[in-house]
Amino acid sequence: QVQLVESGGGLVQAGGSLRLSCAASGRSFSSYAMGWFRQAPGKEREFVASVSASGQIIYYANSFKGRFTISRDNAKVYLQMNSLKPEDTAVYYCAADGAPSIRPTTTNPPYWGQGTQVTVSS
């Protein structure tokens, strides 16, 4: 079992930056792949980025390459978001999977955080 708690969301103007953090607790955190998803009102949940358990494999959705950066350390996973756009407004969720990696096509990782709201004003 892994417990996930997101933080770092908020209100930011277009072009600004935010850094999301996900605090993960569990005996086998280092064996879990970690990812970020988002969901805007009325929209389906969308894959953003993931990092493998080893830290060696990173996936980004095409929309976020060059703007977002995922990273992890021993207890947290981060999402650095730069050049934010109004269409980035959504609830961002941290997720974990016991598989070696989370592929961009994955929709149901077994562990989720509560989400953190990101609002980008124009």
Q: pLDDT (tens digit, 9 = 90+) per residue, 15-74? A: 999 999 999 887 778 889 999 999 999 999 999 999 999 999 999 998 887 999 999 988
Q: Does the pLDDT of residue 121 top 90, yes or no?
A: yes
pLDDT band at 85 (very low <50, low <70, confident <90, very high): very high
Which phi and psi angles does 97 have, rounded to 5°? -145, 135
Nearest C-alpha neighbor of 91 from the set 32, 23, 20, 24: 20
The reported pLDDT for the residue numbered 18 is 98
**CB-facing half-sphere around the CA of 20: CA atoms within 13 A:** 35
